[in-house]
Amino acid sequence: MECQGEVIAGLRAAFHTGVTIPLEFRLTELKGLLALMEENEAQILDALHRDLRKPKFEAAISEIEIVRNDICFAINNLKTWMLPEYVGTNLATKFDDCFIQRQPFGVVLIIGAWNYPLQLILLPLVGAIAAGNCALLKPSEISQATEALLAELIPKYLSKECYVVTCGGAEDTRRLLENRFDHIFYTGSQAVARKILLAAAVHLTPVTLELGGKTPCLIYGRIDMKTAAKRLVWAKYFNAGQSCVAPDYILCTKETQDALLPAIREALEAFYGPDPQKCPDVGRIVTDKHWNHLMDLLGKSKGNVTIGGESTQEEKYIAPTVLVDVDETDILMQEEIFGPILPILTVETLEEAITFVNAREKPLALYVFSDEPQVVTTVLESTNSGGFCANDGILHMTLPTLPFGGVGASGMGCYHGRYTFETFSHKRACLLRSWGLERIGALRYPPYSDTRLSWLRWATTTKKSSCSIM
Amino acid sequence: MSKQQLAVERARRAFRTGRSKPLEYRIQQLKNLERLFVERKKEIAGALKKDLNKSEHGTPLYETLGLEGEIQLAVRKLKEWAAPRPVSKNLLTLSDEVYIKPEPLGVVLIIGAWNYPWAVTIQPLIGAIAAGNAAVIKPSEVSAHTAKLMEDLLPLYVDKELYPVVTGGVPETQELLKQRFDHVFYTGNCAVGKIVMEAASHHLTPVTLELGGKSPCYIDKNCNLTIACRRIAWGKYTNCGQTCIAPDYILCDPSIQDRVIQEITKSVQEFYTENPKTCPDYGRIINQRHFKRIMAMAEDSTVAMGGDNDEAECYIAPTVLRDVKPEAKVMQEEIFGPLLPILTVDSVDSAIEFINDREKPLALYVFSSDNKLIKRVVDETSSGGFLANDCLVHFSVNDLPFGGVGNSGIGAYHGKFSFDQLSHLRGCLIKQLKMEGVNNMRYPPHTADKLGWARFFILKHVPVVRTFKLAALAMLVVIAAAIIQRILD
């Protein structure tokens, strides 16, 4: 790894030239990124296949299309986003210009993750570029093929002075964090997130943390089981369960479970055929270490495997698996699973299920499946989570108009679409006062008097749009 | 269990009952808070006089009027702020409900400062209450009389379990910071800001830090110096310079330095008479420690106006320092006192360079009649906030976010920004288990055809504005769904 300090100093020098500020530059870079995505699709799919055996469909939708879409969204809207936002004035500032100016922070650090190695580093980059920052990208070293591809392609399509890819492991990242950045964007685990926040505190650097947690999936009330099962299975086993917003576990009644299991079997068969291992649409676990960990969890679980359970070490394959008779003390319920293993816990009432969820950390996403609107509303109103989706999974994060982020232990800050631009911008309050109206302005000067104060009070309270002093 | 732990636990339990959530409750608490400021004017002014020698009129002007305005705004707008915020959808979710739902975070810790103890402690509280949170309030112990008054008065007006006041010094604050909160809101200096952020990191708690810095004030040769200097003098010497957004130092051309000094001297006399020490409208330094700190700063610079001081009274006269060098002691840290250094620069380019060589300040001031020059400074510098041709007043515009950047802070508040800062804006997608036909394109087994459809439907964003377009597109989706169902069956 080249001298990190020098790289960052270089980025800072580039930022100070002001080259990233004009709209034209940002659009050029965004178009460069778009070209990168469009001209290298085959290479990208290949790298993702080597890292995670990602099925082409999944890679196309969740890595290529989502990024392309976001780039286009930014290109189409950037001019508007960059405009000064004029805000309401009060009586005293009637002849003044009051607006919010969006400014880049400077040099930002983006740390990616391995499960969606392209999306999770490029979506933040889109916003960082759009907002006028320079960026240092640190892709995950675990998804090696994609890491290498990014290191090769980014300098070919983007300004080498303003956007740099740096590769390395945990120790290199730790040393990287000793440097000062103007914003740090991290996707990954809570343990590492704490270290990042600690490092950021030294420089008072703002951070965005996209973490995870155990995403609950509640199934209650009257329900079209077949459809629910299909959507649930799709969301769970997409990317072999290695999604931060995959449904982690299910809560439902025993009766629902009995109806759900055959529906899940049916959906799995329809999707992956009788032998999922041979199906090209089934992904693999990212590394041996992760595979071993999942197998360990499966082995130690006190639940009963009722669907799947097969595995092959050489291929890092685990079949889409469902367990029943799991309770809250089970090892599968102690950490985010992040694999194709779905425990079902039977909880007899919706209220108990909500209590169960609320006794735990706020998750990144929360799902409820039901044909009864009242059930959906109750769950929505009584719980907290980063995002919420009723009667489906994952899809809420594909909408660029919804902020995507966690709350509590699942993260802080959000992004996607305009939110990424806002995340990487400082909203500077600007007030350009006129020279006139000095007589009104003079009401605030000492010597203070009751009369002046009354006038000021009157001026304050008769306004429609409220203002504080003056 | 420590006193601090108990207060936090009680607040959390109270939050869990859900009573802070209904809008009526929040509005009731806010109205009670407003009554506090209406009914207890005298006691508040009395305590502030003891803490900072704030005058009887200075109190409402700088502390409570603003809060009353913020409360009224929150009460009036709460329904709108707290309502689900619909967003535009894509083709696949056209028939679904898609919106952002603002939700309370839980228990917020608010650490206040001593310079405007009511304003900077209660304004975040207004946002916390409006957003439906519980809040533990830790007023600054440095403004001791006000802290005690807050501890006595708040429980008489607002829910004492949901919004407890916890007083104390450094050890008590450290104990508080060990507890887990859902957000920590701190107003104060950088050094402690880092400690707060570090403590919050253990629990992955987000923070808002309202810090400070040296707010530069550039005076262009070509402007109405009389008005400019009057506004600067007001901005600087209010509260004896102990304002986070006070103009910290002046940058100007050497040719106008004398005139600037003249005009400021005139304004100071108009405001505070020939002898500010006896003027009831002029404040005092908060304590002797800060008095000594500020006096030490002036040591290696030339006094052009003022300079008189009285340690026993913590009095420092409104003071101007001339021909100050960048290496001078007074330029090494935020002054937070009534010393106004003037540094001469030969052009606005030099001023911009000088400013950009330093940490991003909380506020940046420019006085000029040349709009192009003002625009240049806006475009070529960064700061928490920017104000042309006046001082401080951007603080009072509720629709402007108030906060720092870089060393001057993280996050922003005031008006709706307070509400949003202390809420979780939860993205919600409410689908039905119908129209499954359209969904089939995303399920395995994957084919090239399906991929094509999915690329089109799932991800193409359609900003649907008019109902007509909406209806037409809905029709399109239904037809498409039927066709796809056909093809895939």
The 8 Å CB, 24+ separation contacts for B310-319 are B310/B277, B313/B277, B313/B284, B314/B284, B314/B285, B314/B286, B314/B287, B314/B288, B314/B290, B315/B277, B315/B284, B315/B285, B316/B240, B316/B285, B316/B291, B317/B276, B317/B277, B318/B233, B318/B236, B318/B237, B318/B268, B318/B272, B318/B276, B318/B282
CATH 3.40.309.10, chain A: domain bounds: 216-405
Q: How many domains does chain B have?
A: 3
Nearest to A90 among B204, B378, B397 (CB): B397
Selection from A187, A164, A129, A96 nearest residue A397 by Cα: A187
Same domain flag for B169 and B226: no
The answer to whether position B382 is within a domain reads: yes
Q: Which residues, in sequence order, are CB contacts of A394 under 8 Å at separation 6+?
A: A234, A235, A238, A243, A245, A246, A365
Of B194, B384, B458, nearest to A202 by CB-CB distance is B194
Of the listed ranges A317-331, B255-269, B386-400, the one predicted with least confidence: B386-400
Q: Are residues B54 and B145 in the same domain?
A: yes
- In whole angstroms, give the CA distance from residue A16 to residue B381: 10
- Give how far B385 is from chain A: nearest CA, Å: 5
Establish whether B210 is a catalytic residue: yes
For B207, the 3-state DSSP assignment is strand
Domain assignment of residue B411, yes or no: no
Instruction: Say yes or no: B220 and B207 in one domain.
Output: no
Mean pLDDT in chain B?
93
On whether the CB atoms of residues B33 and B64 are closer than 8 A, the answer is no
Chain B neighbors of A103, CB-CB under 8 A? 382, 405
Higher pLDDT, B298 or A457: B298
State residue B489's pLDDT score: 62
Q: Is the pLDDT of residue B90 over 80?
A: no
**Are B384 and B260 contained in the same domain?**
yes
Q: With an 8 Å Cβ cutoff, are A426 and B382 in contact? A: yes
Same domain, B232 and B316: yes
Alpha carbon B317 to its chain centroid, in Å, reads 29
Question: Which residues in chain A are contacts of B100 at CB distance < 8 A?
Answer: 402-403
Catalytic residue positions of A, numbered: 210, 244
End-to-end CA distance of chain A: 56
Flag if B461 and A16 touch (Cβ within 8 Å): no
Across A366-380, B17-31, B323-337, B468-482, least confident range = B468-482
Write down the pLDDT at residue A461: 54
CA-nearest of B338, B393, B345 to B365 is B393
CA distances from B201 to A201, A204, B468 (A): 8, 12, 49
How far apart (Å, rounded) are the C-alpha atoms in residues B220 and B223?
6
pLDDT digits (tens, 9 = 90+) for A137-179: 999 999 999 999 999 999 999 999 999 999 999 999 999 999 9
φ, ψ for residue A105, nearest 5 deg: -80, -40
User: Which of B227, B385, B458 is facing A435, going by the closest CB pair?
Assistant: B227
Nearby residues of A350 by Cβ (< 8 Å), 6 or more positions away: A218, A220, A221, A375, A378, A379
Cβ–Cβ < 8 Å for B30, B75: yes
pLDDT digits (tens, 9 = 90+) for B41-56: 999 999 999 998 888 7
- Candidates 3.30.420.40, 3.20.20.80, 3.40.605.10, 3.40.50.720; correct CATH number of A4-211+414-426? 3.40.605.10
Q: Give one DSSP letter per residue of A366-403, joined into a string.
A: EEEE-S-HHHHHHHHHH---SEEEESSSSGGGG-TTS-
Contact A123, A416 (CB under 8 A): yes
**In whole angstroms, what is the distance from residue B416 CA to residue B300 CA?**
45
Residue B404 lies in a domain: no
Contact A403 B425 (CB under 8 A): yes
Pair (B84, B99) in one structural domain: yes
Instruction: Give the pLDDT confidence score for residue A470 in this predicted structure.
Output: 36
Pick from B394, B218, B385: nearest CA to A103? B385
The beta-carbon neighbor of B431 closest among A272, A392, A414 is: A392
Structure tokens at B296: 């030490």
Which residue range(s) make up the domain with B261?
216-397
In tens, the pLDDT along B304-323 reads 999 999 999 999 999 999 99
Examine the domain organization and report whether B81 and B116 are in the same domain. Answer: yes
Q: Which residue of A has its CA nearest to B447?
A: A57
Query: pLDDT higher for B457 or A352?
Result: A352
Question: Per-residue pLDDT averaged across B384-409, rounded?
Answer: 94
Residues of A in contact with B57 (CB under 8 A): 448-450, 452-453
The residue of chain B nearest to residue A87, with distances taken between CA atoms, is B399
Chain A residues touching B58 at Cβ < 8 A: 448
Alpha helices per DSSP H over B91-189: 117-130, 144-157, 170-178
- Position B448 confidence tier, pLDDT thresholds 50, 70, 90: confident
A270–chain B nearest CA distance, Å: 8
The reply to whether residue B393 touches residue A93, judged by beta carbons under 8 angstroms, is yes
Best residue of B186, B353, B417, B431 to probe chain A, by most A CBs closer than 10 Å? B431
Catalytic residue selected from B34, B63, B210, B334: B210
Q: Model confidence over B399-412: pLDDT tens digits?
A: 999 999 999 999 99
Of the residues B424, B440, B472, the one at which a domain ends? B424
Q: Which two tokens stand for residue A11?
A: 């980025």
Scanning every residue of chain A, which has its alpha carbon at the shortest distance from the alpha carbon of B69?
A: A468
B438 token code pair: 């359209």
Rounded to whole angstroms, the Cα distance separating B108 from B85 reads 24
> What tens digit of pLDDT does each residue of B139-174 get?
999 999 999 999 999 999 999 999 999 999 999 999
Q: Say how far apart CA B262 and CA B246 lie, in whole Å.
A: 20
B407 chain-A contacts, CB cut-off 8 A: 204
Active site residue B244: yes
Mean pLDDT score, B361-378: 96
Residue B453 and residue B346 in one domain: no
For position B15, which CATH number holds?
3.40.605.10
Distance (Å) from the alpha carbon of B406 to chain A's nearest alpha carbon: 7
Chain A nearest C-alpha distance from B175 (Å):
19
To test the contact with chain A by mutation, choose from B459, B460, B462, B485 the residue with the greatest count of A C-beta atoms within 10 A, namely B459
Shortest alpha-carbon distance between residue A21 and chain B (Å)? 9
pLDDT of residue B470: 61
Residues B380, B461, single domain; the answer is: no
* DSSP E strand boundaries for B319-448: 319-322, 339-344, 363-367, 385-388, 409-410, 423-430
Interface contacts (A, B; CB < 8 Å): 319
Structure tokens at B390: 């006046």
- Residue B451 and residue A200: Cβ atoms within 8 Å? no
Q: Which of A73, A271, A429 sits opposite B385 (nearest CB)?
A: A429
| Torsion of the alpha carbons at A330, A333, A337 and A340, rounded to the nearest 10 | 60
One domain, residues B204 and B226: no
pLDDT < 50 regions, chain A: 1, 462-470
pTM: 0.94
**Could you say which of B223, B244, B252, B391 is catalytic?**
B244
Residue closest to A161 by CA, chosen among A3, A9, A4, A5: A9
Quick one: which of A321, A335, A404 has its CA closest to A116? A404
Q: Do B67 and A468 touch (CB under 8 A)?
A: yes
In chain A, which segments carry CATH 3.40.605.10?
4-211+414-426
Parallel, antiparallel or unpaired: strands B85-86 and B97-104: antiparallel
**Residue corresponding to tokens 């009157």:** A458
Chain-centre distance for alpha carbon B237: 21
Both tokens of B101, joined, read 């739902």
**Which phi and psi (to 5°) does residue B222 adopt?**
-95, 85
CB within 8 Å of B152: residues ≥ 6 apart: none
* Residue A273: closest C-alpha in chain B: B445
Distance from CA of A446 to the nearest CA of B (A): 5
Nearest residue, CB atoms, A193 vs list B87, B106, B204: B204
Helix (H, G, I), strand (E, B) or coil at B252: strand
Same domain assignment for residues B187 and B47? yes
CATH H-level superfamily of A216-405: Aldehyde Dehydrogenase; Chain A, domain 2 (3.40.309.10)
Does B207 share its domain with B221?
A: no
Tell me, what's the pLDDT at B445? 86
Contact A408 B204 (CB under 8 A): yes
- Which of B424, B441, B467 is the endpoint of a domain? B424
CA distance B451 to chain A (A): 6
Cα–Cα distance for residue pair A189/A410, rounded to 1 Å: 9
Query: b/e map of A99-135 (b: 16 or more CB within 10 Å)?
Result: bbbbbbbbbbbbbbbbbbbbbbbbbbbbbbbbbbbbb
Would the CA dihedral through B383, B387, B391, B396 be positive or negative? negative
Angle between helices A23-39 and A119-130 in degrees, nearest 10: 160
**Residue B103 has what DSSP assignment?**
E
Identify which has the larger pLDDT, B195 or B443: B195
- Of the candidates B223, B425, B454, which has its C-beta nearest A61's C-beta? B454
